[in-house]
Amino acid sequence: MLIQQKKNLLGIRILPFVTITLILVSCSSSQIEPFIHRGYLGWMIDMSRTKNMEDWPSVKLDSALLNDYIETLDFLELSGMNEITPWGLFTNKYWEPKVENTIDSHRESMVRKIIDLAHQRNIKVMCGMGVYSWGFDKILNENPEIGCECNPEVMDLTVAMSWEWQKKVLDYVMDNFDFDGMSLQSADRGGCFCGESEKYAELEYHAILNQKSVEYIRSKKKDFVIGICGWGMNFSNPQDLEHIVAMTKNVDYLIDVGETALFPGKSYREKLIAAIAPCNYGSTAIPNIEPIQAIPRDFYFIPTVHNTGQRLINLYKDGGRACETYARTRGNPGDKVTVEVIAQLLSDPNKEINIALAEVLTEMYIPENDGALATLLEIYNKAENAFFTNYPKNNNNGQYHDIILLMPRNQKEPSSRYIEYMTPDARRKYAQTMESLNAQASQLVNQVGDQQNLELLLRCLSNAYNESRKLAQ
């Protein structure tokens, strides 16, 4: 382990904005209780090492993706993560009106294998479940009476038959597959706030929707782990607290995707966390770099170790005990290292971020001396700082500032749109940093034991530099 190998690594200057002293003499960080829900969430395709040019989100399941999923599961098991929510097992938008006909027998066997592989590693599998949205497009097209006049992507809460369709999907999943729980999403496509539903406040509406599903799930599977993933929800208004409390009754965890409860201030988030107990509050480990399926995995290098790590430490201090870490591909070294540091912090929220980073880098690259490890630390930390210094703080994906899309989800031709968002001066500065880090990494060729991982790092740095230089001209 790193701590045994690197006892004399002291006083390394890491970031321009902060100097951190690494003292690796003791590996103890006064370990405290871990996060209760240490989860991993994303579309199956997000775990792929290779780009995919199908319409987003692709629900293709093949042997290559299965192997990438197994690699992810191995990491989750070794790092102490305990839950995974793989979206896209059955469909993206199109449950068949005869729900059981949505997948064929071959895909059914693959879904069962995906669940079994996780169970073999003592990881619980949560079924990602759209609530009145996400998956009902075909059903809505064939049954217009359940549709919403102001939002064609969701079913109408006030139409009784809408609930019957929701139950059909819930029954199919619960009765036929060995899931351990469900992660419910009702707001990612908005809601139906016209007609009879116009009287509801937004979170009141979602509380009603989710509680209908929660009560039904509990009636059939009382030991299920139930999470509500708040994509599309904003928890920042104190007047909504009563609705948030109602929404989370008999729920195990609530995910505040953009940590919106912090907008009014830390004290309000602490109040919310106490109010919804025993439901655990959590996040998706923001900021997230979403690995859009069409972008080559070596096209960028954006570790978020310190930004994400500090958010998790603050979350734990405020009383949060849940995390559905948004999936990142293990085919990109910035993503891979960030997620491995996240996993360490979820198991030990008292751990120093740079110590966790040093351990991950040592495991990944096998540096042969202290200088090589110091260089790797500097590369990862400077790359993170360069991105967040130059990326515009007002750019987002339309919902949350800290969910960073490298390019639009539905764009098929790869691009460096995220660099285009920067000002011309910021692009030049970013390009200069990437060029410098690429030169530093090149000096490590004879100083690390894992040349394959170093080669991938060099490709990512080179591509990030070339793209930013090209756009800076």
250-263 confidence digits (pLDDT tens): 999 999 999 999 99
34: CATH:
3.20.20.80
Length of the chain equals 473
Tell me the one-letter amino acid at 462.
S
For the stretch 107-161, pLDDT in tens is 999 999 999 999 999 999 999 999 999 999 999 999 999 999 999 999 999 999 9
- Over residues 367-383, the mean pLDDT reads 98
pLDDT value, residue 37: 98
Same domain, 344 and 372: no
What is the distance between the alpha carbons of residues 191 and 276, in angstroms, rounded to a whole number? Answer: 23
Same domain, 220 and 232: yes
Least confident of 270-279, 373-382, 383-392, 409-418: 409-418
Tell me the one-letter amino acid at 166.
Q
pLDDT value, residue 304: 98
Same domain, 437 and 337: no
What is the distance between the alpha carbons of residues 143 and 136, in angstroms, rounded to a whole number? Answer: 10
Same domain, 155 and 179: yes
Q: What whole-number percentage of the chain has pLDDT above 70?
A: 93
Same domain, 347 and 365: no
Same domain, 87 and 209: yes
The residue assigned the tokens 């971020």 is 353
Q: Is 376 helix (H, G, I), strand (E, B) or coil?
A: helix
pLDDT value at 22 more than 80: no
H and E: helices and strands count for the chain: 15, 10
* Cis peptide bond N-terminal to 278, omega within 30: yes
Same domain, 279 and 296: yes
Least confident of 15-29, 189-203, 230-244, 431-445: 15-29
Same domain, 305 and 361: no
CA 45, 353, 405 angle in degrees (round to 5)? 30
Tell me the one-letter amino acid at 157.
L
Q: Classify residue 407: in a domain, yes or no.
A: no
Q: How confident is the model at residue 30 (pLDDT cuts 50, 70, 90)?
A: low
Q: Classify residue 368: in a domain, yes or no.
A: yes
Distances (CA, A) of 174 to 165, 170, 219, 254: 14, 6, 11, 21
Q: Classify residue 21: in a domain, yes or no.
A: no
Domain final residue pick, 320, 351, 382: 351
pLDDT value, residue 29: 53
Per-position DSSP letters for 106-129, written without gaps between them: HHHHHHHHHHHHHHTTT-EEEEEE
How many CB atoms neighbour CB 385 within 10 A?
A: 19
Q: Classify residue 215: in a domain, yes or no.
A: yes
The helix (run of H) or strand (run of E) holding residue 288 is strand 288-290
pLDDT value, residue 31: 76
Q: Classify residue 417: in a domain, yes or no.
A: no
pLDDT value, residue 414: 85
For the stretch 148-182, pLDDT in tens is 999 999 999 999 999 999 999 999 999 999 999 99
Q: Classify residue 416: in a domain, yes or no.
A: no
How many CB atoms neighbour CB 319 within 10 A?
A: 15
Yes or no: say if 420 and 407 are a contact pair by the CB < 8 Å rule.
no
Same domain, 164 and 254: yes
Residue 263 in tokens: 């907008």
Q: Which residues pair with 290 in a beta bridge?
A: 405
Domain final residue pick, 325, 351, 377: 351
Q: What is the dihedral of CA 323, 324, 325, 330, to 10 degrees?
A: 140
For the stretch 37-56, pLDDT in tens is 999 999 999 999 999 999 99
Supply the pTM of this predicted model: 0.93
3-state secondary structure 15-41: ECCECCCCCCCCCCCCCCCCCCEEEEE
How many domains, the chain? Answer: 2
What is the distance between the alpha carbons of residues 37 and 81, in angstroms, rounded to a whole number? Answer: 8
What is the distance between the alpha carbons of residues 329 and 332, in angstroms, rounded to a whole number? Answer: 6
Domain final residue pick, 351, 378, 398: 351
Q: Helical H runs in 190-304?
A: 202-220, 241-247, 266-276
Q: Classify residue 290: in a domain, yes or no.
A: yes
Return mean pLDDT, the chain. 93
Same domain, 323 and 365: no
Q: Classify residue 69: in a domain, yes or no.
A: yes
Same domain, 189 and 218: yes
What is the distance between the alpha carbons of residues 136 and 232, in angstroms, rounded to a whole number? Answer: 18
Same domain, 428 and 284: no
CA 305, 460, 49 angle in degrees (round to 5)? 85
Distances (CA, A) of 129 to 91, 160, 173, 228, 347: 11, 19, 9, 10, 27
**Domain span at residue 360?**
352-390+422-473
Q: How confident is the model at residue 96 (pLDDT cuts 50, 70, 90)?
A: very high
How many CB atoms neighbour CB 313 within 10 A?
A: 16
pLDDT value, residue 255: 98
